[in-house]
A and B are shown apart, each in its own frame.
Chain A
Amino acid sequence: MKREQGMRDNMASGGVLADGLPSLIAAAHELKSPLSLVRQLSLLLETEDLSVDERQRMLRQITLTSERALRLTNDLTRSVRLQDALFTLEPINPKQLCEEVVHELTPLFTAHGRRITLAPRTHPLLLVANRDLLRRIIVNFSDNALYYAEGDGPVQLQINAFHEGQMIRLGVRDYGPALSSDMWRSLQTKLSTAPQPIHARPQSSGLGLYIASQFAEAMNGSLGVTRHADGATFYIDLHASQQLSWL
C-alpha cells in the first residue's frame, strides 16, 4: 500500500515550480492524452482496412484533437509570459465574445455528438477584460465541460450581471451528473491555489484551470464553480464597464 501511495505522490509532483510557473510534469501529462489519441488514430489509418467515411471521420478526429493540444500549449506559453507582458483591459461585449467561442468550438462539439449554445440575453452588457485572455478562459471551461462532464447533455454559456450591475459573471454550464462532494471540494481548492495532485481530479492535472486562474487574476477577475443537482457551472466574475451608463 505504501508503494501505491508512493506512486501517487510521484504522480502528484506535477503542479507549479517555485516561481509559480506550471511545471513541466503537469504540462507533459496534459499533452499525453491528445498525443496518444492522435498516434493511435494514425496507426489505425496506416494498418486498418477502412471505408472512405471511416478514414475521413478519423482524420477529422486527428485534426480536432491536435487543435485541442495546440490550444493547451498556446495557453501555457501565454501563461508563462503573463509576468513579462502588459495587457490591455478594454470594454468588451461578452455576448459577442461568447458567440465567437460557440462558433469556434461547434465543430469539436459536433464531432463528439454534443451541443454548445449561448443562453439568450436581451439587455446588452459590457465588461472590462482582455479579449484574448477572456476568450481563452471561456474556451478552457467549455473544453473542460466537453471532456470531463459526464453524459451527453448540452453545454451552455451564460452571461449574468450581479451586485446591481457592477459585476458580470460568464459561466459555462454543463448538464452531466452532479459532482461528488469530494470532487467539488477538490475543485474549490484548485480554483484558488496551484494545481492539485493528479489524483485529486483523476483524469486531469488541473493545469488548464490553473492557467485560467492566472488569466483571471491578470484581469482583476476571479474564478469559481457552482454545483448543481445535474451538473456544474464554472464561471469568471469580472467588473462591468461603466461605458453603457454614460450613454
Chain B
Amino acid sequence: MNKQHVLIVEDDPWLAEQHARVLSRAGYEPTITPHALAAIQAIDIVEPAAIILDVLLTGSTAFALMHELQSYTDTARIPIILCTNIAEELELEVVAPYGVRRILDKTSMEPSDLVTALRSVLV
C-alpha cells in the first residue's frame, strides 16, 4: 500500500524533524519545507494528502500560502492542519474557508496529536 504524503511547512528545523519522525512512525511519508514559497513548489511534486502548517513563517505568512492554495481547485481540496504557537489567537470557523480543518496548539499538544488530527481529516 502506498504511503500518504504529508507536507510539513515549519521553519524550525528541529521541530519539523520531530514532526516528520512522528508521522513516519505512523506510516505517513512526510516532506519538510521551511517556508511558503518552498511549500508551493513541493505541493506540485509530492501532491500531499494533507498539509501541517505553521502560521508564523519566515517570509510570507501561512495566510499567504492558504490564499494561494485556495486559488486552484486541486490544491483547495487539500486539508490543512495549523500547528502554531498562536492557536489561542485563531478560531477554526474563521480560518476554515482557507481549507483549515484542525488547529493544534504547539504549546500544549502531545506529539501523537499530530497523527490523531491527520487521521481525522483523512478519513
Residues of B near A47 (CB, < 8 A) are 111-112
Asked if residues A33 and B60 are in contact (CB atoms below 8 Å), the reply is no
The total of chain A residues at the interface (CB under 8 A) is 31
| Number of A-B residue pairs with CB-CB distance less than 8 Å in the complex they form | 72
Please give the number of chain B residues whose Cβ is less than 8 angstroms from any Cβ of chain A in the complex. Answer: 32
Q: Are B35 and A65 interface neighbours, CB within 8 A?
A: no
Q: Which of B12-58 contact A (CB under 8 A)?
A: 12-15, 18, 21-22, 25, 34-35, 55-58
Which A residues between 183 and 217 are near B, CB-CB below 8 angstroms? 183, 198-199, 202-204
Question: Which residues of A are found within 8 Å of B90, using beta-carbon distances?
Answer: 7
Q: Is A86 an interface residue (CB 8 A)?
A: no
B21 and A32 contact, CB distance less than 8 A: no
Q: Does A10 contact B (CB under 8 A)?
A: yes
Interface flag for B77 (CB, 8 Å): no
* A66 CB, min distance to chain B CBs, angstroms: 13
CA–CA, A41 and B14, complex, Å: 9
Closest to B98 in A: A4
Contact across chains for A150 and B86 when beta carbons are under 8 A apart: no
Verify if B91 is at the interface (C-beta below 8 Å from A): yes
Query: Which residues of B pack against A, CB within 8 Å?
Result: 11-15, 18, 21-22, 25, 34-35, 55-61, 63, 85-86, 89-91, 94-95, 106-107, 109-112
The 8 closest A-B pairs by CB, nearest first: A36-B106, A32-B85, A203-B56, A202-B61, A202-B56, A3-B94, A61-B14, A36-B107
